[in-house]
Structure 1
Amino acid sequence: MEKLFIKNGTIIDVENGISFVGAIEIEGNKIKRIINQDEVLPEGPDAIDANGKYIIPGLIDMHCHINEGFAPHFVASGVTTVRNTAGNVLLLNNLIQKPDHSPIPRVYVSDRMIDGTPGQWGPTSYGNFVTDDPEEARKEVRRQVEVGAKFIKLYGWIKRDVMEASADEAKKFGLEVSIDLINSKELTALDAAKAGVTWFEHASGFAQEIYKGWNPLVEQAEWSHINWEEPDQEKVKELCDKLLEYDVKICPTMVLFDQAMSYPNIWSPNNKVIESIENRKHPVEYWKSHEEHEEAIKRSTAVVNNLTKAIAKTYYDMGGTVVAGTDTPALLYTYPGMALHRELEIFVEIGFTEIEALQAATVNAAKSINLDDIGTIQEGKMADLVILNKNPLENIKHTQEIDFVVKGGKAYNQEEILSNIPSEEDVNSLLQAFIEEWEAVHVN
């Protein structure tokens, strides 16, 4: 069994908010022992000397849409686990089944989203299921359970009775239900919570509840009286208080809206990971295709930027679960892996402490989906670690100062991880082959 020994590093205990100098002994894919600096180190093993460096658990992006072509960029950014919110389990099996030490993130996956007619992403396909029939939705939930979905994802044009049926069916199998209500024309966050939905992606549906009748698809001039820049804190608190009764969980993906509202002055630090991403056609061409719709995106979708930030901080302060995610690669320049670092910056900008921001992407994220073997640096836990050159508790931006990453017990520098990126031709060929196989079976 492979062994790894890291010594002299400052280990950050994200659960208790403390740090100490010590060593980490890794055997196979697990942390075997944590040794305090006061203890005598074992003789003999070759060790990585982390003197002057800081060790945090592998980061978790709680909302993304992963693709094999940019999967290694997550790990090169220190993101060792992702929660994939809609896609296709079978399409991602190649990533899901990789060994623990592979330089791609662990994938906690949902299957295709369940939406209402006519379907925001078009008719039923390998990536979405469109129906207004509650029984068809129940059948789809059961199919998703069979293929290995860890949770169920609903989308914003879903009908109320279909939403209720989906949530009820998922509950039978112990699965949580997530919803994206950004473009919802009828339902609000409170409606979904009452129906049994647990997860609110992008803090969506809150705006529709606070401003009844508003949604991104209506004529925005009619709603010019809303002060989006300075959200009504009293209304935000009142709604958060109601949703707290249902113990809902929020993944605000603030970077998604922040990048759009900041465009063209986007957050784009100069580092190896972003340089590698910008040399890829996908998702760069996708982002460029959105540039021409910049004003429309700002006017409708991203207008909720400050409201989302207010919701995230208020709900957290009231004791609610708020975790860090990005919606990579959506809208404009949500860089795979690196966007999570900007999300953590925003957490701090809106009033979270550095340790609270870190917790949102480590221990609190892991606990929110009952993943007991990741999210902290503890004996017996998965050996997913990020070794940083600077202290993130002094400045959250230091999470970007990555020296190397340990994934499932194997240490990598960023260059080694990025060397594992598959060619775009191979990725496209695999996707096309999958789509053809899927349609041959599922399309009449």
Structure 2
Amino acid sequence: MKKILFSSLALLCGVAAFSQQKKADLLIRSVRIIDVKTGNITANQAIAVRNDSIVEVMNNKQAGQYQAAQTVDGKGRYAMPGLWDMHMHFGGGDTLAEENKNFLPLYLAHGITTIRDCAADISLNVIQWRDSINNRQLQGPTIFTSGPKLEGYKSVWLGDLEIGTSAELQQALDSLQKLKVDFVKITENTIKPDIYLEALKEARKRGLAISGHVPYVLSMQQVTDAGLSSVEHLTYAWKAGVKDDAAFARAIANGEIKGKDINKYILNNFDTAAAMNTYRHMAEKGTFITPTLTLGHLLAYFDQDNHQHDPYLQYIGKGLQRTYEMRVKRVSQDDSAAIAWRKMLYEKSSAVLPLLYKAGVTIMAGTDAGYLNSFDFPGIGLHQELALMVKAGLTPLQALQASVINSPAFLHKTNYGAIAPGKKADILLLDANPVADIHNTQKIYGLVVKGKMLDRAALDGLLKEVREKTAQTK
């Protein structure tokens, strides 16, 4: 009788303990968590996920307190926040919309859970994808988009908002806010300098971040003082490192220096002390920078690898591949002197990256991938960008921070950037440590995106899906 009572009590206690377990949608056990802020790695950890948020991070021994719909054994692999690509482009017109849509699974398959579209000529499609992903009606990375960019009259870009007066600027900003864009993009092809500076100030008045190219007729101090939130492309920071950036800008505006002489002037007049002063001013003003090294490196060294037989082309639609032709034709015509020149320009400009870091400028990781930019591939391109950032002088940890900490900071998103309670459950699981070797970001075991686990088989399935769709494009 006593034995029966004891067994019954034990059973009741067991049922009670089970009923008191915390609920989770996903439990990842036995992982090494990378703190991307410090580089510290904590082993034997478990991560509990509910909906699309991390609810608890604990020692693996405590994982038994959770009852999860799905449990994953990490087997000692490395866990870090999902990667961000902070500069990419959708585009090429409505006829290429479906080819652009194929970018979405490519990003996930390469561990990238968030992308920033820096202007598109298919913005309505992009905004629809963004909202559908947020509502879980479409699978893909979280999208932040600028919508169409601001430009001057008769610019070379398709689908931009052309402005030349204060009234047109206000109308353009009204239209962007009506689209509910996440930030504003501005470029310098034909826009008037005074309208450019006014656009920076007016966008910031509306509470909108504004990123863009920097007109060579304006100094870096002018644009940062006016409110430019982020400089897109490292070459603008290189130009800003000359001994007197303001005088140089005036000389360009007056036509005293133009064409190829501009880069010659920068080469002859770049001054590290002057550059550091300018970069420190950028840091004081809170101006970020996205270097986008990938395309520059690819074009500089095109004679050594023309990328015509890249295996990754099986994922890029034929229509998008045709948008590569303009740049390919241009660099293919260079003689040996021009090839040497473009390589030197790339190496000189990329060398300012560690100077920017030392000055305290916040660096973001972005590729310029997408349409038009030849062989700059969405997905794999970010891993190439991170490796180039390290080659240019950053540490692997600093490159990782540029992607997963600095990127959400630009958009004031505080629920990203760490594997911690309250953060988004965008989690990258790696077979090897990326802090030791940046190339290890490519050794992907699995990805949690919006709380859903995609193992290696699922990620390979995404690649297969894109490959099959691409084979059908014309």
- How does the TM-score come out when normalised to structure 1? 0.84
**Contact 1:61–1:340 at 8 Å: present in 2 too?**
yes
RMSD: 3.2
**Contact 2:280–2:360 at 8 Å: present in 1 too?**
no
Specify the alignment match of 1:140 in structure 2: 172
Does 2:157 correspond to 1:121?
Answer: yes
Does 2:150 correspond to 1:105?
Answer: no
> Aligned partners of 2:216, 2:358: CA distance in 1, in Å?
29
> Aligned partners of 1:301, 1:129: CA distance in 2, in Å?
32
C-alpha deviation, 1:151, in angstroms = 1.2
**Contact 2:383–2:442 at 8 Å: present in 1 too?**
yes
Letter of the structure 1 residue corresponding to residue 298 of structure 2: Q
C-alpha deviation, 1:304, in angstroms = 4.4
Does 2:438 correspond to 1:393?
Answer: no
Which of 374, 379, 390 is matched with 1:348 structurally? Answer: 390
**Contact 1:202–1:250 at 8 Å: present in 2 too?**
yes
Specify the alignment match of 2:182 in structure 1: 150
Deviations 1:395-425 (A, max 9, x none): 0000001111111011113223335549469
> Aligned partners of 2:314, 2:332: CA distance in 1, in Å?
28
Deviates more, 1:332-341 or 1:199-208: 199-208
**Contact 1:392–1:398 at 8 Å: present in 2 too?**
yes
Does 2:321 correspond to 1:284?
Answer: yes
> Aligned partners of 1:325, 1:76: CA distance in 2, in Å?
17
Instruction: Structure 2: state its 5+ residue gaps.
Output: 1-22, 91-99
Deviations 1:306-356 (A, max 9, x none): 344233221211112111101112533111011111111122112222211
Q: Point out the structure with the larger helix share.
A: 2
Deviations 1:88-110 (A, max 9, x none): 54221231122456531111111
> Aligned partners of 1:427, 1:303: CA distance in 2, in Å?
38
Decide whether aligned partners of structure 1 residues 50 and 271 sit closer, same or farther in structure 2, where only a CA change above 3 A counts.
Answer: farther
Does 2:38 correspond to 1:16?
Answer: yes
Decide whether aligned partners of structure 1 residues 362 and 266 sit closer, same or farther in structure 2, where only a CA change above 3 A counts.
Answer: farther
**Contact 2:314–2:471 at 8 Å: present in 1 too?**
no
Decide whether aligned partners of structure 1 residues 193 and 303 sit closer, same or farther in structure 2, where only a CA change above 3 A counts.
Answer: farther
Which of 191, 199, 218 is matched with 2:230 structurally? Answer: 199
Letter of the structure 2 residue corresponding to residue 105 of structure 1: P
- How does the TM-score come out when normalised to structure 2? 0.79
Q: 1:135 aligns to what SS in structure 2?
A: helix
Specify the alignment match of 1:433 in structure 2: none
Specify the alignment match of 1:327 in structure 2: 368
**Contact 2:35–2:418 at 8 Å: present in 1 too?**
yes
Superposition map of 1:295-306 within 5 A: 304-306=345-347
Aligned-residue sequence identity (percent) comes to: 24
State the number of aligned residues.
Answer: 417
Decide whether aligned partners of structure 1 residues 82 and 301 sit closer, same or farther in structure 2, where only a CA change above 3 A counts.
Answer: farther
**Contact 2:83–2:404 at 8 Å: present in 1 too?**
yes
> Aligned partners of 1:240, 1:56: CA distance in 2, in Å?
30
Deviations 1:123-147 (A, max 9, x none): xxxx201122122012111210121
Which of 72, 78, 90 is matched with 1:54 structurally? Answer: 78
> Aligned partners of 1:106, 1:427: CA distance in 2, in Å?
26
> Aligned partners of 2:472, 2:416: CA distance in 1, in Å?
31
**Contact 1:187–1:208 at 8 Å: present in 2 too?**
no
C-alpha deviation, 1:172, in angstroms = 2.5
